[in-house]
């Protein structure tokens, strides 16, 4: 461990890494993250059907526990449209149409913010909390975690778009040593062209957005229709 942290560390072992390495890492990471997300929300799905089958004291879902169908549909629709837009943006980026994908990326960011706001509005107007029965507990926990994952998606997309916009007037972009890693001690860039990672990152974030859109559809069916 001491040698790894020593000031004379040989940075040449990590500098000038081919972009293809991180591109493959992003491809795999997005799918691993989607898999872990599926298992995470499976817990809520199991809790829903298990507690519903028990229906202790007939308090599974009291009459006043009724979330807004309209807000639920609008929130789900905003996320699904975001997923579709990002896949379309990926097609534009692969066709080297940077302007088109940036526009769709900006609209997608606005839609994610809208989805989060709509969910907050629903919580503030629904008239029940997590202690009002088993359904209410599952509902609040499930939708709360969905909002949290949306915040993560928002950050991921925003940083991808910001990187593309930052160097839009300089192509091929020029980078100072260690700029991509934030390491001022390096004598050369840690990868050959950080901007070349934007397409791979966009592919990863669009894949995850599509997956998250599917999660929202399932949650809407379970929480609002069943």
What pLDDT score does 147 carry? 97
Residue 193: how many CA atoms within 13 Å on its side-chain side?
13
The more confident residue out of 150 and 187 is 150
Token representation of residue 162? 């910001």
Q: pTM of the entire structure?
A: 0.84
The more confident residue out of 107 and 7 is 107
pLDDT in tens, 29-85: 999 999 999 999 999 999 999 999 998 787 899 888 999 999 999 999 999 999 999
Beta bridge pairs of residue 191: 17
- Quick one: CA dihedral 142, 143, 147, 153, positive or negative? positive
What pLDDT score does 79 carry? 98
Q: How far apart are CA 126 and CA 137, in angstroms?
A: 13
Q: Alpha helices of 8-133 — where are they, by DSSP H?
A: 19-54, 69-94, 98-125
- Contacts of residue 82, Cβ cutoff 8 Å, sequence gap at least 6: 108, 111, 112, 115, 209, 213
pLDDT in tens, 188-202: 666 666 677 888 999
What pLDDT score does 2 carry? 45
Q: How sure is the predictor about 157, in pLDDT bands with cuts at 50, 70 and 90?
A: very high
The more confident residue out of 5 and 175 is 175
If one counts every other C-beta atom within 10 angstroms of the C-beta of residue 42, the result is 10
Token representation of residue 184? 């001022």
Percentage of the chain exceeding pLDDT 70: 80
- Contacts of residue 25, Cβ cutoff 8 Å, sequence gap at least 6: none
Mean pLDDT (the chain) is 86
If one counts every other C-beta atom within 10 angstroms of the C-beta of residue 39, the result is 8
How large is the average pLDDT for residues 122-149? 94
Q: How far is CA 52 from CA 92, 195, 218, in A?
A: 45, 50, 17
What pLDDT score does 187 carry? 65
Q: How far apart are CA 75 and CA 84, in angstroms?
A: 15
What pLDDT score does 183 carry? 64
């Amino acid at each position: 461990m001491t040698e790894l942290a020593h000031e004379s560390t040989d940075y040449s072992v990590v500098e000038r890494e081919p972009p293809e390495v991180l591109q493959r890492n992003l491809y795999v990471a997005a799918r691993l993250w989607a898999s872990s997300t599926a298992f995470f929300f499976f817990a809520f799905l199991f809790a829903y059907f298990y507690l519903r089958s028990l229906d202790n004291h007939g308090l599974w879902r009291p009459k006043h526990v009724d979330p807004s169908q309209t807000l639920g549909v609008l929130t789900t629709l905003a996320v699904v449209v975001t997923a579709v837009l990002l896949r379309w943006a990926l097609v534009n980026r692969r066709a080297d149409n940077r302007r088109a994908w940036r526009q769709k990326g900006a609209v997608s960011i606005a839609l994610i913010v809208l989805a989060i706001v709509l969910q907050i509005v629903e919580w503030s107007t629904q008239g029940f909390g997590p202690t009002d029965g088993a359904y209410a507990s599952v509902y609040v926990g499930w939708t709360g975690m969905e909002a949290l994952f949306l915040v993560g998606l928002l950050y991921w997309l925003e940083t991808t778009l910001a990187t593309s916009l930052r160097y839009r007037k300089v192509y091929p972009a020029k980078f100072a040593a260690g700029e991509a890693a934030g390491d001022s001690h390096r004598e050369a860039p840690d990868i050959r062209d950080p901007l070349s990672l934007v397409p791979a990152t966009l592919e990863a974030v669009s894949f995850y957005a599509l997956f998250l859109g599917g999660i929202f559809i399932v949650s809407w069916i379970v929480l609002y229709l069943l």
